[in-house]
């Protein structure tokens, strides 16, 4: 994928904000947008992510600093990357749980400092993309983690590697 970053500083009174638009040049798609302004980060959505497998809320409306650039791109036949609906279930079935545990060799799959945790006690199934963001229980969206790694992930101590 040929990605290009476009970034600039937007100024508003005595403040400046970092604005970024990530473009997929091959498909002529607006892949990702972000801005450090309060309008963009309201409701705790610190990053607009469209169609990427990360645990972030999707917001289609850009802030006032991004809007002119996005409008310009759309006017020139660029399109926003659309979120694909995820296939899976809302509840982790015992069959899926067993397949995930087998894939993980009955050990935690979380990486700590580049190495797998490998804990084999108190294993839980974690969705990389949360249910509130459309994440489903399936082999691609789930990872086996120990209770400690699961707790740290939800506290935001690290991201998925």
111 and 48 share one domain: no
Whether residue 40 lies inside any domain: the answer is yes
The boundaries of the domain holding residue 140 are: 94-155
- Is 0.85 surpassed by the pTM of this model? no
- Stronger pLDDT, 76 or 61, i.e. the higher one: 76
Q: What percentage of the chain carries pLDDT values higher than 90?
A: 37
Q: Could you report the per-residue pLDDT of 23-32, keeping only the tens digit for each? A: 999 999 988 8
Whether residue 161 lies inside any domain: the answer is no
Burial class (CB in 10 A: 0-12, 13-18, 19+), 100: buried
Whether residue 48 lies inside any domain: the answer is yes
Whether residue 130 lies inside any domain: the answer is yes
Whether residue 145 lies inside any domain: the answer is yes
Q: Is residue 78 scored above 80 in pLDDT?
A: yes
Whether residue 100 lies inside any domain: the answer is yes
Would you state the pLDDT for residue 130?
81
User: What's the structural domain count of the chain?
Assistant: 2
* DSSP code per residue over 66-125: THHHHHHHHHTT-EEPPPPPPPSBSS--HHHHHHHHHHTTTS---EETTEE----SSEEE
Q: Is residue 158 scored above 80 in pLDDT?
A: no
């Amino acid at each position: 994928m040929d990605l290009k970053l476009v970034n600039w500083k937007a100024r508003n009174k005595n403040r400046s904000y970092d604005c970024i638009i990530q473009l997929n040049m091959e498909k002529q798609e607006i892949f990702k947008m972000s801005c450090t302004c309060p309008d963009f980060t309201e409701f705790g959505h610190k990053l607009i992510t469209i169609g990427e497998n990360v645990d972030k809320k999707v917001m289609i409306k850009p802030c006032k600093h991004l809007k002119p650039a996005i409008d310009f791109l759309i006017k020139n036949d660029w399109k926003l990357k659309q979120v694909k609906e995820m296939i899976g279930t809302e509840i982790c079935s015992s069959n899926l749980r067993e397949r995930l545990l087998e894939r993980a060799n009955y050990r935690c799959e979380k990486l700590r400092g580049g190495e797998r945790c490998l804990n084999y006690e108190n294993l839980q199934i974690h969705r990389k993309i949360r249910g509130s963001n459309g994440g489903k229980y399936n082999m691609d969206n789930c990872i086996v983690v120990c209770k400690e790694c699961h707790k740290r992930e939800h506290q935001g101590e690290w991201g998925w590697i």
